[in-house]
Amino acid sequence: MVKKSYDVIIVGAGLGGLKLAELLNNSKLNVLLIEKRSTIKTLTKNYFGTFLEYIQRWKLQKYLIYKCGWGFYTTRSQTFKKLKGKSLCVLEMNKWTRSLKLKCDKKTNIQIVKLKREKEQITLYDQKNHKYTAKLVVDCSGIAQTISTLLGIKKSKCDFLNYVFIMKNHKSKNRNEMFYFQDSNLTNCGGWFHTLENGKCLVGCAEFTGPNTLGKKELRKRLISYVKNFYPLNKYLKNAKIIEEFCMAGPTTTMHSSIVEDNYIAVGDAAGAGGPFIGDGFRMTFAMADSAYDTIKEVFKLNDFSKRALQIYSKKFNDEFGKWYKWSYLWRFMYLRYTTNKELNLFTEKLKKFNDQDYYDILVSKLTPKILIKLFTAKSFFLLIKNMFIFHILEPLKISKLPRRPIVLKK
């Protein structure tokens, strides 16, 4: 049985794992990066969207495809803001991965299947029963959540499943238009559209997972329906051809009950830490990699890898992101249970009156009671109360029922 000891083991060579490994180039620690795929030079997902301030924070300008505004498009209403100076950005991140020169040990085609705590360390076992021991294990395994699963950490039951088409020959002439779209009769979440390089575009739709969630085949049907019937997708994509498609879980939107344990840290989707409102996990992942690096430096100085010592990592996350989450969760709770296309259209209309800062705060999941109140008109508030009454009183009595997207879409 092969056994080797390290200071730090990073499980997963996605955005978080690669960023953390890059940061640890500057340390004297003995680091191992483990990846289940056969390469660390490409990512499972190449295109990412995030905001200009984060592009500048991590100096990623050379991987930028373009800047754009953001729209909310529903069945009867459209709101779009250019967000000058606060633009969304589309990145091609495989260029970034290929540029990395990592100094750590790297092992590919490794699947961690078991772990054991041994003398204030964690030992990981791969599919061939090889052992890797470390003082600190960092879970960057994305939606697989490998180490948190093996540790039995409590997770959210609500995340995303999404289906994506990469298409060519689209007719959108505005490269600066990215938008969220939803018809609640098709999906309980929505979708997104933006152009790519060389005449390509990306369109996808998602489901919040939970009871009676849609599966892969059904979700693909909904995406096809959006492409054919939802304006302006049916205009932009009338003669477009699918050149690539994939279905995947994530990004996650609900942080796990714990992102640190003794000898353990979780980063990004492995921690369940994506943007609760629009699911933007890119900035959380990079920010958490930064915080993990700072925390690793500190705990190795102290030679203390206990949960108590690692709580500085949790605090960094909560200071930057977590304090906003409760209001995003409240909004999602209402959104999933009580909203139909009527309310979605009213909310989209109300967004037209938002200033750029409040609009931007919604996109980056900085929801506050003030912003939530501003979203409502008297009519939408009345409709929401009415829907709550139907959902909690009339539906159980089988007197009335809120319109829901069907589990099986008829042709």
Domain 160-249 fold: Alpha-Beta Plaits (3.30.70)
Q: What is the DSSP letter of 217?
A: H
Statement: residue 2 has pLDDT above 70: no
Query: What was the pLDDT predicted at 115?
Result: 95
Range(s) for CATH 3.50.50.60 in the chain?
3-46+93-156+253-325
Q: What percent of the chain has pLDDT over 70?
A: 98
Statement: residue 283 has pLDDT above 60: yes
Exposure string of 377-402, with b = 16+ CB inside 10 Å and e = fewer, is eeebeebbeebeeeeeeeeeeeeeeb
User: Cα dist. 176→127, 179, 279, 280 in Å?
Assistant: 46, 10, 20, 18
Range(s) for CATH 3.30.70 in the chain?
160-249
CB atoms within 10 A of CB 25: 12
Contacts of 296 (CB under 8 A, 6+ apart): 8, 24, 27, 29, 136, 138, 265
Instruction: Round the average pLDDT of the chain to a whole number and report it.
Output: 92
CA 135 remoteness from chain centre:
29
Q: Are 133 and 123 in contact (CB under 8 A)?
A: yes
Question: Which residue do the tokens 């796990």 mark?
Answer: 256
CA–CA separation, 238 and 361 (whole Å): 34
Strand partners, 320: none
Domain 3-46+93-156+253-325 fold: FAD/NAD(P)-binding domain (3.50.50)
**Per residue in 7-42, pLDDT tens?**
999 999 999 999 999 999 989 999 999 999 999 999
Q: Using 50, 70 and 90 to split pLDDT, how confident is the model at 176?
A: confident
**Per residue in 33-63, pLDDT tens?**
999 999 999 998 889 999 999 999 999 999 9
Query: What was the pLDDT predicted at 157?
Result: 67
For range 296-304, the mean pLDDT:
96
Query: What was the pLDDT predicted at 373?
Result: 93
Statement: residue 408 has pLDDT above 80: yes
Q: Are 384 and 350 in contact (CB under 8 A)?
A: no
Statement: residue 358 has pLDDT above 90: yes
Statement: residue 211 has pLDDT above 80: no
**Per residue in 53-99, pLDDT tens?**
999 999 999 999 999 999 999 999 999 999 888 999 999 999 999 99
Q: What percent of the chain has pLDDT over 90?
A: 76
The burial of 121, by beta-carbon neighbours within 10 Å (0-12 exposed, 13-18 middle, 19 or more buried), is given as middle
For range 359-386, the mean pLDDT:
93
Query: What was the pLDDT predicted at 391?
Result: 96
Statement: residue 1 has pLDDT above 60: no
